Amino acid sequence: MEANLAPKAAENHTKSSSNLPHPDIQPHVFSPFDQQYKSSRTENSFPEKKQAVLQLATHSLPDVYRRVNPSFKYSPSSNPRRILTEPSERVGNNGNDNSASNLVLCVNDILHSETGSFRSFRVLELLGEGTFGQVVKCEDCETKKFRAIKVIKNKPAYHNQAMMEIKILKLLNESMTQMTLTTSCVCWIIFRSKIICVSYLKC
């Protein structure tokens, strides 16, 4: 009798074990992308599954909160903007510059032309700082291409030097190809009394 029960018990244990979820796969809760998640489980390898779940949970986080709490409200404009310029205290140029005459820049600031044809650039990160000013990585709001933008300090001597530099870069643009240039000037604009020199950026 005991010999007959042993195979059945082993079979039942195998069936129940096969129905258990993988210990590394966590339950998917409150995601509005259930169908996308299911397809990612069948089409991708295991590391890609975890990445897909993380991306969906992150991208849809406001939706998750709204499903839990219908009164939840969120707007990207309420995000805190990280300050890139040090020192960050605004003391000059109508509250735009710091004590070193640098324009105080924050992530997602929009630098735009105040005269001539309109150009605008969204600040992404600080690339460096030197004697003449700051260089920031920006996104062209029209073309969505990345640019390196040099923001000159608000001082007459630096202003004159920047204009000379722009003229030299223009001459180089006319006489040499993009392949041979280390840097080239795309355009330049005036923003809050400062010269903004826009260059190509290879990422």
- Whether the pLDDT of residue 146 is over 90: the answer is yes
- Whether the CB-CB separation of 105 and 149 falls below 8 Å is answered with no
Domain residue ranges in the chain: 23-74, 110-200
Of 58, 9, 64, residue with least CA distance to 31: 64
- Whether the pLDDT of residue 108 is over 50: the answer is yes
Question: What is the pLDDT, as a whole number, of residue 180?
Answer: 56
- Whether the pLDDT of residue 9 is over 80: the answer is no
- Whether the pLDDT of residue 122 is over 90: the answer is yes
pLDDT top residue among 164 and 47: 164
Cα gap 134→97, rounded to integer Å: 12
Band of the pLDDT at 200, cuts 50, 70, 90? confident
Question: What is the pLDDT, as a whole number, of residue 182?
Answer: 55
The pLDDT tens digits for 15-71 are 544 455 455 545 444 444 455 545 545 544 556 777 777 777 677 788 888 888 999
Supply the CATH classification number for the domain 110-200.
3.30.200.20
